[in-house]
Amino acid sequence: MPTVTVSDKGQVVIPAAIRRRLGLVPGSKLDFEMEGDSIRVRPLKSIPLSRVEDGYGMLRCDLAGERRLADFDVAEAMRAEDDDRP
């Protein structure tokens, strides 16, 4: 395990191999936690931004006939889908 030095500002450099393995890039957020006399550092995983188009096809309506978006209750459809699962 590489040894690093704490600067007078309390900063350390995370070795490149560790940054690559954890996918740390500039701006990554880290969580620090005391564990006895040690420090546990974990990267905080962010939820990637999504677009409306990414959800296309997730819900479907098998009812015949013409439908309008105003007639569609997303919450009700999700509950119905959950009820259909084994």
For the chain, domain boundaries: 53-84
What is residue 86's predicted lDDT score, i.e. its pLDDT? Answer: 63
**pLDDT tens, position by position, 30-85:** 999 999 999 999 999 876 667 777 777 776 767 777 777 777 777 887 787 777 66
Buried b (16+ CB within 10 A) or exposed e, 50-82: eeeeeeeeeeeeeeeeeeeeeeeeeeeeeeeee
pLDDT of 8 > 80? The answer is yes
SS3 label, residue 49: coil
Structure tokens of 25? 């890039």
